[in-house]
């Protein structure tokens, strides 16, 4: 029979096989194209959704659920411009998993019309994406220990520092969800720190100051020892002539936040009439205008004593006297940013860098042991090893080769402190 001969004829056997196989082959190619289009749309969806979550998190706390829904949809649709995607739906869920912590989960879905699969009955493919943002409205007490020594006048360092510090304050102000949650202190330092003349007199040890500031009867001897050795009478100057500068406390209180105790000189702060006295420090404050004004008031002067800058920064965020900062709490971060442009050159006892470095190292170690997070910044010059080891982690140490880089460094730190991140 003809049909039987056709089946037995090997010359044309490949044609029907090819015809039968062509249909699934074309289907596979079409599926690959359609899936590729859907995958591209989903990638764009995820990017738009992450940006939406970050933007919405800035205001979510003050919005009602309907307002969150409306803003999420508006943000997302303005970013997700894919005409092949239809039936777009955005679903935000804002929760407070724990006191002082917040979570925003946003899910998006859409349909992508097919081009090839529709001939096989599949009109569209579904795509979904989700983004989760958490932030701790953790309160922040931040101390800026800023080198104000004479060398900061070189290479435009002070100018760039002022710009960077003020920009950091701007970022933190914007990140503050509730007024007062973020407070900053500013501690300019050189050999001394200027604590101001209004600090409680019971915290100040005047013994050394009295021997170096006064008048000698009928002679110009400038110190008590020289005056008395020449059988003259020494009269200490009135304490209201003190310029507010202090230098290192007695060891080992020079590297701790031990509270000053009246009558116990080793714990009290040593008055020092430094000729190179930096601008007065500013305790913790959320007055952003005043903080920026304090930064603008800084002026380079004197030698370098990193230890005293570190310890007084710590004092400003400590619960102890003289500043009585807020108590430790699970929702409070205490942070120091320590910046210097040179090696240690002078403290109360020595001009040996290695000797002063040992005190700085102890101050850093003690502060970190007290759960203070420490960032360090070296500007062009300074002991890189000392500063790297002072930081809480190696990636919290920044080595700046040019002063103009300070702004990007402070911006990076500010973003870390804002504590906002995509986690999923």
pLDDT at 20: 46
How high is the pLDDT of residue 415?
75
What is the model's pLDDT at position 24?
Answer: 55
What pLDDT shows up at residue 218?
Answer: 80
Q: What is the pLDDT of residue 420?
A: 45
pLDDT digits 0-9 by tens, 161-204: 999 999 999 988 877 777 888 999 999 999 999 999 999 999 99
**Which of 177, 198, 178, 194 lies closest to 186, judged by CA?**
194
Residues of the chain with pLDDT under 70: 1-32, 34, 98-101, 115-123, 136-137, 419-424
The 3-state DSSP class for residue 41 equals helix
- Write down the pLDDT at residue 22: 46
Nearest CA-CA partner of 140 in 319, 329, 295 = 329
Alpha helices in 240-352 (DSSP H): 288-297, 306-317
Classified as helix, coil or strand, 375 is strand
Element (DSSP H or E) covering residue 120 = none
Q: How many CA atoms does the CB half-sphere of 410 hold within 13 Å?
A: 25
Taken in order of first residue, the domains within the chain and their CATH numbers are: 13-136 (no CATH), 139-197+243-422 (3.40.50.410)
Identify which of 192, 133, 213, 236 has the alpha carbon closest to the alpha carbon of residue 348. Answer: 192
């Amino acid at each position: 029979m003809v049909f039987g001969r056709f089946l037995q004829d090997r010359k044309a056997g490949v044609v029907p096989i090819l015809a039968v196989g062509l249909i699934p082959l074309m289907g596979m190619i079409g599926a690959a194209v359609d899936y590729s289009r859907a995958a591209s749309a989903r990638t764009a969806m995820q990017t738009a959704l992450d940006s939406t979550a970050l933007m919405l998190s800035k205001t979510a706390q003050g919005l009602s659920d309907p307002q969150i829904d409306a803003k999420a949809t508006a943000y997302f649709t303005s970013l997700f411009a894919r005409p092949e995607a239809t039936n777009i739906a955005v679903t935000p869920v804002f929760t407070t998993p724990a006191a002082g912590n917040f979570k925003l989960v946003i899910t998006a879905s859409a349909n992508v019309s097919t081009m090839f699969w529709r001939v096989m009955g599949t009109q569209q493919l579904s795509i979904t994406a989700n983004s989760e943002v958490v932030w701790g409205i953790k309160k922040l007490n931040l101390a800026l220990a800023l080198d104000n020594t004479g060398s900061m006048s070189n290479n435009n360092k002070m100018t760039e520092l002022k710009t960077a510090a003020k920009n950091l304050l701007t970022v933190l102000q914007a990140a503050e969800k509730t007024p007062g949650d973020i407070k900053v202190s500013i501690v300019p330092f050189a050999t001394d720190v200027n604590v101001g003349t209004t600090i409680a007199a019971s915290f100040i040890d005047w013994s050394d100051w009295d021997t170096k500031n006064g008048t000698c009867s009928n002679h110009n001897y400038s110190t008590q020892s020289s005056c008395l050795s020449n059988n003259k009478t020494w009269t200490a100057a009135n304490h209201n002539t003190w310029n507010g500068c202090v230098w290192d406390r007695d060891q080992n209180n020079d590297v701790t936040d031990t509270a000053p105790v009246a009558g116990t000189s080793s714990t009290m702060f040593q008055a020092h009439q430094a000729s190179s006295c930096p601008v007065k420090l500013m305790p913790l404050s959320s007055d952003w205008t005043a903080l920026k004004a304090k930064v603008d008031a800084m002026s380079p002067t004197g030698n370098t004593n990193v230890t005293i800058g570190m310890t007084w920064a710590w004092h400003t965020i400590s619960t102890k006297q003289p500043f009585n900062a807020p108590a430790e709490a699970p929702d409070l971060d205490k942070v120091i940013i320590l910046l210097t442009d040179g090696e240690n050159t002078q403290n109360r006892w020595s001009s040996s860098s290695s000797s002063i470095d040992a005190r700085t190292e102890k101050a850093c170690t003690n502060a970190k042991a007290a759960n203070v997070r420490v960032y360090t910044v070296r500007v062009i010059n300074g002991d890189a090893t000392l500063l790297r080891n002072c930081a809480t982690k190696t990636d919290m140490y920044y080595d700046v080769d040019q002063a103009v880089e300070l702004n990007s460094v402070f911006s990076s730190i500010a973003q870390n402190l804002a504590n906002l991140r995509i986690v999923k």
